[in-house]
Structure 1
Amino acid sequence: MRLIPLLTAIAVTAGLYFLVLQREALFAFARGETAAEATETVESEPSAEGAASVTVTAEKRVGVVVKRSEARPLDSAVILRGQTQAARQVEVKAETTSTVLSEPLRKGTQVKAGDLLCELDPGTRLAAHQEAQARLLEARARTPEAEAKLEEANARLKEATINLTAAEKLSQEGYASETRLAAARAAERTAVAGIAAAQGGLETSRAGIESALALVASTSKEIDRLRITAPFDGLLESDTAEIGSLMQPGSLCATVIQLDTIKVVGFVPETEVNRVHLGALAGAELANGAQVQGEVTFVSRSADPTTRTFEVEITVDNPDLKIRDGQTADIVISAEGTKAHLLPQSALTLNNDGRLGVRIVREDQTAGFVLVSLLRDTADGVWVSGLPEKADVIVVGQDFVTEGVPVAPTYQEAMQ
């Protein structure tokens, strides 16, 4: 029963031995060389960077398939995933307490700004408004009387001042008694008090007018609240309140949404937010396959505290209302382009450090490794950057050569 694990251990040990200690012999076997030919392989001196390259006899080169690639402009768009949102959505609510008198409108109805959604029972509000108007008329009627009393008080003060002046002169010359002088002074003080009383009456009258005006405005506003109207052109997303329903401040009358212009909202990561600019052209493909176009109208300045992403809004015209609120969308926002190479995905490989790159054929017909950055993955291949303007990329056999190994390239163009 213990024989199988023992044989497995021996096989694994032998495999590791050849993979680690006899690596060059193993590569030679993979290239179809004999053991004698493998012994002729020697290592070159380390380069300035400290990397070792392997050379093979000139007669033995590794056959590879090469693609002559040239960098092409790539519109390096920012790709997001998001959803559609109504340009405007409002829950229209009551601001007063009363019962609904109007027949309900059904959801899906097209409404215009100012259209009646819910009409409430006025109750005693009309009577209260009329009473407020009557108080205003009464307060205004009292004002002329108060003004006349003030003018009369001013005239009496003027007369009392003249009499006092005359009494003081006569008293100084000995023609008037002290009693007459005291009476003149008392009359003057009485006139001053009359002016103060008349001014108080006028102020009271004016205050009554202001109070009546406020009451009229309050009752008028309360009456206006009885008619709940649509704030803008749109569609009813819910039925309006049923007739006979009791409405209180905050009770929902209806929900109105505007869809003739719609927003496509996505969230861009912080590493790419600087590539998105206001006014940039953008497109989106909805879940049903429909494609729409618009432009970026908002880029958030504050990141979401949880995802560390920034909200982006794209405004799209929707005159036929085919785009609905809440549809999933794949968003593509145009950004500054770059040059890149389109290669088969199979051409990508990893070096000993696990970094992504491709094998190329150098001018001396040896293999080399170049680090690349993956820009976009498409059905036709992958777009990568990091290569020179023109490069001979090994697309078949790249896993059987290492840095500096001589190769015998066969170009795809010649094969086709």
Structure 2
Amino acid sequence: MLKKLSFSPVLLAIVLAVAMLLWLLSGDTFSAKDTQPAPQQVAQKQLPQVETRWSEAQLYQATQIAQGQVLPWRSVSIKSQQAGRVEALLKQQGDNVAQGDKLLRLSDEGRSAMLAQAKANLTLRQSELNSARTLGKAQFLSATELTRLESELAKAEAELQNATLAVKQTEPVAPFNGVVDRRHIEVGDLIQTGTALLQLVQIDKLKVTAQIPQQHVSALQLGQQAKVRLLDGRALSGELSFISYAADSATRSYYIEVSVANPQHWRIAGASATLDIALDSVPAHRISPALLSLDNSGKLTVAVVDEQQQVVFYPVQILTADTDGAWVSGLPARAQIITQGAGFVRAGDKVKVAGAKA
């Protein structure tokens, strides 16, 4: 009699699990052999997105601004060339004078008498020489004596010139048209040679001096028009009349002068002023200062999208700037300027333009 076989539930579960595992492994192997795996899809790189604005270059009248000082066109201190006492003041402070006008008179101190003596001595020496020449022709006078008399005549002529000049210098005259700006003496003062008498200035024409940094002097040319703005709001027009050829060794700046007509004789000599020198017109774009950035070398740049939709950082120069915007040069005549997103791209990056504003 056959014996009936029996299995426990645990053993049965183990057998079934092993059978299921073998079936799964065999199915995966056959599937790998019979079917080709699906190709993997590579994610496409997304281009950075920027916003831009089209800008057209315009001719901009650039100016060079500098702080300067207004000076008289001419200024000279009249000093005494002779010693003496002041007898009369022929011109007072504030008086207009013409070239050659007498300004004051010093005491004679015997100079007129010396002049008269020099004239008489010259007449005598001339007469002696004329007589000697007559005798010399008759061979009654030696050549040596004739030479001595000629020397005496030359000495008398020199003495006459000195005496004449001494008398003339007792009445100093104005060397140019101007105004007596200061008087340093009074009637009765005893003065010596070299004493300052009067200060004479020419103010119908003025000059404004300033210092220009070395990086800007190349843009200046003689004859450029300039506007002189005074602290009280008044303004005068002039032109650039001088540019120094050598920079100041301390400041590395160049000295300039602007000549200005002052027909109204404004009392502005010695005052401060602002110079606006008109430079040549250049193509420029007006942009927001927020669009400016610095490159690795410290130069100002503006980000632009070119025709290949790539980013280009153009170095620019600020011509002028205020709170509303800045005029810059260095960009193409027509430029697609990046207004949003320039800080997230680099030069050469290809970008997607979200929308270009006109």
Q: Same fold (TM over 0.5)?
A: yes
Which residue is 2:317 aligned to?
A: 374
Question: Could you tell me how far 1:368 is from its partner in structure 2?
Answer: 2.8
TM-score (norm 2): 0.77
Which residue is 1:146 aligned to?
A: 132
Match of 2:247, SS state, is coil
State how far apart, in whole Å, the 1-side matches of 2:300 and 2:149 are: 89
Q: Which moved more, 1:369-378 or 1:125-134?
A: 369-378
1:271-310 correspondence to structure 2 within 5 Å: 271-310=215-254
Given candidates 406, 409, 412, the residue that maps to 2:352 is: 406
Question: Could you tell me how far 1:204 is from its partner in structure 2?
Answer: 3.2
The question of whether the paired residues in 2 share the 8 Å contact of 1:344 and 1:395 is answered with no
Match of 1:277, SS state, is coil
1:250-269 correspondence to structure 2 within 5 Å: 250-269=194-213
State how far apart, in whole Å, the 1-side matches of 2:272 and 2:314 are: 36
> Does the C-alpha gap of structure 1 residues 240 and 41 become closer, same or farther in structure 2, counting only changes over 3 Å?
farther
Given candidates 20, 25, 47, the residue that maps to 1:55 is: 47
1:8-407 correspondence to structure 2 within 5 Å: 55=47, 64=51, 66-103=52-89, 105-152=91-138, 154=139, 195-196=141-142, 199-322=143-266, 324-350=268-294, 355-361=299-305, 368-379=311-322, 380-396=324-340, 398-399=342-343, 403-407=349-353
State how far apart, in whole Å, the 1-side matches of 2:186 and 2:43 are: 92
Match of 2:159, SS state, is helix
Q: Percent identity?
A: 28
Q: Point out where structure 1 has 5 or more consecutive residues left out of the alignment.
A: 1-39, 44-53, 155-193
State how far apart, in whole Å, the 1-side matches of 2:229 and 2:85 are: 46
> Does the C-alpha gap of structure 1 residues 138 and 41 become closer, same or farther in structure 2, counting only changes over 3 Å?
farther
> Does the C-alpha gap of structure 1 residues 399 and 195 become closer, same or farther in structure 2, counting only changes over 3 Å?
closer
The question of whether the paired residues in 1 share the 8 Å contact of 2:213 and 2:253 is answered with yes
Which residue is 1:46 aligned to?
A: none
Question: Could you tell me how far 1:121 is from its partner in structure 2?
Answer: 0.2
The question of whether the paired residues in 1 share the 8 Å contact of 2:320 and 2:328 is answered with no
Counterpart of 1:378 in structure 2: which amino acid?
A: A
Q: Which has the higher strand share?
A: 2
The question of whether the paired residues in 1 share the 8 Å contact of 2:303 and 2:313 is answered with yes
> Does the C-alpha gap of structure 1 residues 304 and 359 become closer, same or farther in structure 2, counting only changes over 3 Å?
closer
Question: Could you tell me how far 1:224 is from its partner in structure 2?
Answer: 0.5
The question of whether the paired residues in 1 share the 8 Å contact of 2:212 and 2:256 is answered with yes
Pairwise CA RMSD: 2.8
Question: Could you tell me how far 1:345 is from its partner in structure 2?
Answer: 1.2
Which residue is 1:164 aligned to?
A: none
Which residue is 1:22 aligned to?
A: none
State how far apart, in whole Å, the 2-side matches of 1:225 and 1:102 are: 14
The question of whether the paired residues in 2 share the 8 Å contact of 1:283 and 1:332 is answered with yes
TM-score (norm 1): 0.67
Question: Could you tell me how far 1:128 is from its partner in structure 2?
Answer: 1.3
Match of 2:203, SS state, is strand
> Does the C-alpha gap of structure 1 residues 106 and 42 become closer, same or farther in structure 2, counting only changes over 3 Å?
farther
The question of whether the paired residues in 2 share the 8 Å contact of 1:370 and 1:387 is answered with no
The question of whether the paired residues in 1 share the 8 Å contact of 2:304 and 2:314 is answered with no
Q: Which has the higher helix share?
A: 1
Aligned length: 314
Question: Could you tell me how far 1:352 is from its partner in structure 2?
Answer: 7.0
Question: Could you tell me how far 1:309 is from its partner in structure 2?
Answer: 2.1
